[in-house]
Amino acid sequence: MCNLHPHTVIGVLTTLVANIGKVFSKTTLCCTRHTVAVVFLLVFMMASLTTANISVQYTHLNYVPLDTTIEIPLNYANADVSSSVIECNLLLSYPDNLISFIEVMPTPLDESCDWLYFDVSHPADNLIRISARAVSGSGNCFNSESILLASIKFYVTDDSAWACNAGRFKFIWQSCDDNRFVSEDGSLILVSDSLFDQPHTSPPPLTGRGVSDSCVAQVGGTRALNFYSGAIGIDCLPLYPDRGDINRNGISYEIADFVIFQNYFIVGFDAFGEYRDWVVAATEIDGNEIPLELSDLAYLHNVVVGDTLPLPKLTANDTAILTQDLLAQTLSLEYEPGLAALFVKFVGDITPTHLFDTSNQIYLTHYYDGTYTRVLIMQSFISLTPFVLSSGPLFSYTGTGNIVEYDLTEWKTGRPPSILVNTNGSCCVGKTGNINRDMNDLVDISDLTFLINYLFIGKFPLSCPNEANVDGAGTVDIEDLTRFIDYMFKSFTPLSDCP
């Protein structure tokens, strides 16, 4: 007569229910969106139906963001004081397409126990072997309802192609010595009794017995260990972002979207958190196919307050003139229609003070990140009527810094044409070429990048056109690019003097 193991009966019944839907299918993961990883640590003891009342288990991690570091706990639980062991040999597998192994961090067993040795090897790309032994005579260190043997640290891939995928943590048997625990004198060898999956069902489905019967006989082992597999599910990213949904909650053109986008102009990409690429694409608000523009922020404001629909804008006719007084350290505006917002980026640490009328709820804020000072002038969001930043003095500043970038926009037309004029001194001193306005007047490949951006992309106007006039012809054009490349890589002939 065949004797059925109690866990086998439970496992078969549970498997029938679990097969209705797979927990870590791509569909299930994609349908649920969370902003943080949720850790499901299943620590439990099966009813003592047989001698198999000791467990070794991985855990589950769901909705794990890309490009992060995670720690997977490896737990051991033994409430049977008669089964005292001090040595283990474990062979573990992990999904190396999703995560990369960093290290295994052993944990103290308790206050009176310590490891005699704790060796970790990497026999294959997706395998980890742990061979460890507690100090002899240190007591029943492994007798506890829950012991954290170690934490295994992994790096989660940054490849967005693996978003919404899942993988398994498993115990692997390649020889009869794998995944066993041994007593101090070697007389007691505990091997696997049952191998379980750990989905969201209780009890979990039985998937096997681990070590073979022939191995049990060969090593003289006792089937007394239940092994529980684990899993990791990578958070999902939408393939195509919704325009204006900057906070990734599925709803576009909210106040929260505006606040996050506004913070970008103050603190940079840190405002976007983990999903930078996705969020950047969502900031293309005004339909000109260029994200991260101040005109996008202003247009988002108008859409949120209901002043306009998310449609293409009109074309500006006038040219906005920004005048920087290098001696007085002030910045002024000449633009009759008025601006909705202005962004200025200095290399260096400066402190601006507004010179414009703040009664119309236009404010100035700035932030120094250790390299750049970003200055943003814009209307307070609490006002539902769009005011404008009128012509006149904008702000004065103290400290030392050069303007490296600026951007401006008006409410109806987006970014108007603009120029930056310097008075009471020249922004260009000595030789030309410091296009990115390096504080030490260094000329290098980054200046070439700025020039290419200006000539062919046009995202930001030049903050000091005289620095880009490297051929001395009076205008900044393709001839200056040719001259700069010749200076950098061919003849090394010095660039022209500043005008």
| Closest to 45 in 3D by CA, of 228, 231, 232 | 228
The answer to whether residue 379 scores a pLDDT higher than 60 is yes
* 348, part of any domain: yes
pLDDT at res. 201: 58
| Averaged pLDDT of the chain | 81
The stretch 389-397 carries a mean pLDDT of: 94
- The CATH number linked to 90 is 2.60.40.680
Model confidence at 351, in pLDDT bands (50, 70, 90)? very high
Please state whether the peptide bond connecting residue 203 to the residue before it is cis, i.e. omega within 30 degrees of 0: yes
User: In this structure, are 187 and 128 located in the same domain?
Assistant: yes
User: In this structure, are 275 and 376 located in the same domain?
Assistant: no
pLDDT at res. 459: 60
| Closest to 344 in 3D by CA, of 437, 279, 259, 255 | 437
CB atoms closer than 10 angstroms to residue 360: 14
Give the tens place of pLDDT for each residue, 141-187: 776 667 888 999 999 998 877 888 889 899 999 999 999 999 888 88
Query: What is d(CA 488, CA 108) in angstroms, rounded to the nearest whole number?
Result: 58
Alpha helices in 112-212, H assignment, sequence order: none
Query: What is d(CA 249, CA 263) in angstroms, rounded to the nearest whole number?
Result: 18
The stretch 42-55 carries a mean pLDDT of: 42
Query: What is d(CA 384, CA 401) in angstroms, rounded to the nearest whole number?
Result: 35
User: In this structure, are 230 and 131 located in the same domain?
Assistant: yes
Model confidence at 53, in pLDDT bands (50, 70, 90)? low
Give the tens place of pLDDT for each residue, 409-423: 887 777 788 888 889
Beta strand 222-228 with 54-57 is parallel
Percent with pLDDT over 90 in the chain: 38
User: In this structure, are 406 and 295 located in the same domain?
Assistant: no
Q: Where are the beta strands (DSSP E) in 306-391?
A: 320-325, 330-334, 341-354, 362-368, 372-379
CB atoms closer than 10 angstroms to residue 494: 11
User: In this structure, are 333 and 300 located in the same domain?
Assistant: no
Percent with pLDDT over 70 in the chain: 81
pLDDT at res. 25: 33
pLDDT at res. 404: 87
> Contact, 303 vs 352, CB < 8 A?
no
The answer to whether residue 265 scores a pLDDT higher than 50 is yes
The stretch 398-413 carries a mean pLDDT of: 87
* 12, part of any domain: yes
User: In this structure, are 333 and 384 located in the same domain?
Assistant: yes
User: In this structure, are 54 and 112 located in the same domain?
Assistant: yes
- Asked which of 173, 201, 234 is the last residue of a domain, the reply is 234
User: In this structure, are 329 and 444 located in the same domain?
Assistant: yes
The more confidently predicted of residues 418 and 352 is 352
* 81, part of any domain: yes
Torsion of CA 254, 257, 262, 266, to 10 degrees: 150
- The CATH number linked to 386 is 2.60.40
pLDDT at res. 110: 65
Query: What is d(CA 366, CA 396) in angstroms, rounded to the nearest whole number?
Result: 13
Instruction: Tell me which residue range forms the domain holding 450.
Output: 320-490
Query: What is d(CA 147, CA 244) in angstroms, rounded to the nearest whole number?
Result: 48
Query: What is d(CA 45, CA 72) in angstroms, rounded to the nearest whole number?
Result: 20
The stretch 105-121 carries a mean pLDDT of: 83
* 311, part of any domain: no
User: In this structure, are 290 and 409 located in the same domain?
Assistant: no
* 249, part of any domain: no
pLDDT at res. 478: 92
SS3 content of the chain, % helix, strand, coil (to 5): 20, 35, 45
> Contact, 88 vs 182, CB < 8 A?
yes
The answer to whether residue 43 scores a pLDDT higher than 60 is no
The answer to whether residue 446 scores a pLDDT higher than 70 is yes
The stretch 238-256 carries a mean pLDDT of: 80
- Rg for the chain, CA atoms, rounded: 32
* 1, part of any domain: no
Q: What is the DSSP string of 230-247?
A: EEEEEPP--SSPPTT-TT
> Contact, 194 vs 52, CB < 8 A?
yes
The answer to whether residue 401 scores a pLDDT higher than 70 is yes
pTM of the model: 0.44
SS3 240: coil
Lowest mean pLDDT among 243-257, 270-284, 297-311, 377-391: 377-391
How many structural domains comprise the chain? 3
The stretch 285-296 carries a mean pLDDT of: 86
User: In this structure, are 278 and 419 located in the same domain?
Assistant: no
pLDDT at res. 10: 33
Query: What is d(CA 401, CA 314) in angstroms, rounded to the nearest whole number?
Result: 35
- Asked which of 263, 278, 304 is the last residue of a domain, the reply is 304
Query: What is d(CA 335, CA 314) in angstroms, rounded to the nearest whole number?
Result: 17
Lowest mean pLDDT among 15-19, 58-62, 384-388: 15-19
Model confidence at 297, in pLDDT bands (50, 70, 90)? very high
pLDDT at res. 69: 92
Query: What is d(CA 48, CA 45) in angstroms, rounded to the nearest whole number?
Result: 8
Query: What is d(CA 179, CA 156) in angstroms, rounded to the nearest whole number?
Result: 26
pLDDT at res. 230: 87
The stretch 119-137 carries a mean pLDDT of: 90
Give the tens place of pLDDT for each residue, 455-485: 887 666 788 889 999 999 988 999 999 999 9
- Asked which of 278, 304, 330 is the last residue of a domain, the reply is 304
Query: What is d(CA 208, CA 192) in angstroms, rounded to the nearest whole number?
Result: 10
* 277, part of any domain: yes
User: In this structure, are 273 and 372 located in the same domain?
Assistant: no
The answer to whether residue 47 scores a pLDDT higher than 80 is no
The answer to whether residue 370 scores a pLDDT higher than 90 is yes
Query: What is d(CA 353, CA 52) in angstroms, rounded to the nearest whole number?
Result: 73
* 244, part of any domain: no
User: In this structure, are 264 and 183 located in the same domain?
Assistant: no
CB atoms closer than 10 angstroms to residue 443: 20
Beta strand 418-423 with 320-325 is parallel
| Closest to 382 in 3D by CA, of 258, 280, 281 | 258
pLDDT at res. 42: 26
pLDDT at res. 111: 64
